[in-house]
Amino acid sequence: MTGAELRAPELVALRGLAGAAARMPEGLGGLPGHFRARQKGQGQDVADIRTYVPGDDARAVDRNVTARTGTLHVRTHHADRDRTLLLVADFRPSMLWGVTRAFRSVAAAEALVLLGWRAVEAGGRVGVVALTARGHVAVPARGQTRAMLAVIGALVRAHAQALEAARDGLEDPPLDAALEKVLRIAGRRGEICLASGFDTPGPALEIRLAELADRGELRRIRIGDGVRGGLPAGIYRLSDPGGRVIRADVSGEGTEEPGQPSETLLDPAMPPARALQILDGAHGLR
């Protein structure tokens, strides 16, 4: 990564980093790896066959065992676990700048790709929605390595589209309006990971976030502004090597603003390995 661009080979290479990191105990969510699963009703795998008790679902009666024993028996099943992870990348113009290692948008993509590789390695399904000033790029959730390759391809395309929109002077669409598109795509189970600076939130952002949380477990990753050198708060005009000028809104005071309790704060100056340690630590991994 150059810091300003996303390149597929570098994102693919993050698979090795994600696989080498500490894994979550299998007892959490019933899955190996750093990926939470949510139960959803009766599955297909039989857990036990036992005698019928009042209140059991008559549809669960095992006719073969009942006929053999002369006593009503029912089957119980393991609950299905939704292994779907939807990655949401904020590539609006406010994310397309950085003062150290990488653009905020690049740091967001790296964090999401690391979590995506974790999910795929755990047997999960992964999809993506990338938000830009010109709309969104989406890939539905699928499984195995080809799913992550499709996700990475979508992120690279969306980031290039976002850079073009910024060059054309487009400004941030409100995040609450952009997330309405995610609501149309997100399923009813699984996990949603949103990586954003949460700039230009819009008046209904907390409502949109609550609606996303109703769809599944919502994980919020706040990408800071990367300012650690005491730069005063304000709006700055920055220029990249290509001559593109952008307006950057800096929180100032040499520190990042603390995130919400439900958020993980990442500094774009951090290399992916350090970012992964923080993502793991936020979920109790050591």
Tens of pLDDT along 56-115? 888 888 888 899 899 998 887 645 455 799 999 999 999 998 877 899 999 999 999 999
Structure tokens at 81: 């676990």
Average pLDDT for residues 255-276, to the nearest whole number?
76
Stated as kind and residue range, the H or E segment containing 257 is none
What does 78-123 look like in DSSP terms, one character per residue?
EEEEE-EEEEEEE-SGGGS--SSSS-HHHHHHHHHHHHHHHHHHTT
pTM above 0.85, yes or no: no
Average pLDDT for residues 214-222, to the nearest whole number?
90
Closest to 192 in 3D by CA, of 221, 222, 218: 218
Tens of pLDDT along 162-189? 999 988 889 999 999 999 989 988 877 7
Instruction: Tabulate helix, strand, coil % of the chain (nearest 5).
Output: 35, 25, 35
Q: Say what the pLDDT of residue 176 is.
A: 96
CA dihedral of residues 257, 261, 264, 268 (deg, nearest 10):
0
Whole-Å CA distances, 235 to 29, 132, 164, 247: 44, 21, 22, 6
Q: Find the distance separating the first CA and the last CA of the chain, reported in whole Å.
A: 28
What domains sit in the chain, N to C, each tagged with a CATH number?
8-29+82-282 (3.40.50), 43-79 (no CATH)
Average pLDDT for residues 245-274, to the nearest whole number?
68
Question: How would residue 13 be classed by pLDDT, with cut points 50, 70 and 90?
Answer: very high
